[in-house]
């Protein structure tokens, strides 16, 4: 096999590996269409150059798209949606802090506010036995009716933002983590400058653009098929030469 053909096949190999990784990203986006607060990921490719010659392309990284998702109404008073910038902070099993836009909370056996995945919300309040009709203001002030039916303040939920929110990394389970690219987490009051508001009885839907993702899926699939057909043609040519 000539060195030029080997070189071409090596470039094709790099390209197809990158496309397969991009296919995983797109498939994961489509799988999370109905995941509350999910933020789509975009594949970023980078051309590879060696001695001023193009050596193909590789998937350099994925980038979180932090555009606002649509808010839908809910009948659950513990469905809280952020409108604007900011994340809810939660405690992870290893004690570190994770961040999420999924505000579909519930109360666990210890009356802690937790996400659907069971991660406790970080806030400065406490829910005690007998309280009901828990509610939250746009500024994050949480109230509830006590055992006597009196409305009492039970705490405040703050939001967390990042200098570069698209730089956070995914942990899975709709949980994001701080990274060097995102910058240090900044905690502030909901409704304050540069922080969004919290809306009760609302759920933020994923910000996935279905048409765009399907188009991307078709494009990546066609690219992979083209590489496969090229490989088949080269194999046939080699076999004909050997015959």
Is the pLDDT at 10 greater than 70, yes or no?
no
Do 161 and 224 belong together in one domain? no
Q: Does the pLDDT value for residue 202 go beyond 90?
A: yes
Percent of the chain at pLDDT > 70 equals 77
Alpha helices (runs of H) in 32-132, residue ranges in sequence order: none
Instruction: Indicate if 191 and 215 belong to the same structural domain.
Output: no
On whether both 168 and 54 belong to a single domain, the answer is no
**Listed range (32-46, 110-124, 192-206, 225-239) with the worst mean pLDDT:** 225-239
Nearest Cα neighbor of 196 from 88, 83, 37, 38 is: 83
Domain interval for residue 33:
3-64+208-242
Number of domains in the chain: 2
CA distances from 35 to 84, 103, 169 (A): 18, 11, 17
Please tell me whether residues 225 and 192 are part of one structural domain.
Answer: no
Least confident of 41-45, 80-84, 196-200: 41-45
d(CA 127, CA 108): 11
Among candidates 82, 111, 115, which has minimal Cα distance to 189?
82
Instruction: State how far the Cα of 129 lies from the Cα of 170, in Å rounded to an integer.
Output: 35
Cβ neighbours of residue 152 under 8 Å, at least 6 residues apart?
143, 144, 145, 146
Same-domain status, 98 and 142: yes
């Amino acid at each position: 096999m000539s060195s030029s053909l080997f070189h071409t096949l090596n470039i094709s190999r790099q390209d197809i590996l990158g496309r397969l990784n991009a296919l995983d990203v797109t498939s994961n986006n489509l799988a999370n269409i109905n995941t509350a607060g999910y933020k789509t990921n975009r594949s970023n490719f980078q051309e590879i150059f060696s001695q001023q010659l193009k050596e193909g392309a590789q998937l350099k990284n994925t980038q979180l798209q932090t555009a606002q998702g649509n808010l839908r109404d809910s009948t659950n008073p513990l469905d809280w949606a952020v409108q604007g910038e900011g994340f809810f902070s939660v405690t992870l099993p290893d004690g570190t802090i994770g961040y999420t836009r999924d505000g579909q909370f519930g109360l666990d056996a210890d009356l802690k506010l937790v996400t659907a995945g069971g991660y406790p919300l970080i806030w400065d309040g406490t829910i005690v036995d007998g309280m009901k009709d828990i509610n939250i203001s746009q500024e994050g002030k949480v109230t509830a009716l006590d055992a006597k039916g009196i409305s009492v303040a039970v705490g405040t939920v703050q939001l967390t933002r990042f200098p570069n929110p698209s730089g956070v990394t995914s942990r899975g389970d709709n949980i994001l983590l701080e990274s060097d690219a995102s910058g240090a987490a900044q905690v502030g009051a909901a409704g304050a400058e540069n922080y969004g508001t919290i809306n009760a009885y609302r759920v933020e839907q994923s910000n996935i653009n279905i048409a765009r993702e399907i188009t991307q899926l078709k494009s990546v699939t066609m690219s992979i098929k083209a590489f496969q057909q090229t490989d088949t043609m080269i194999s046939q040519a080699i076999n004909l030469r050997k015959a």
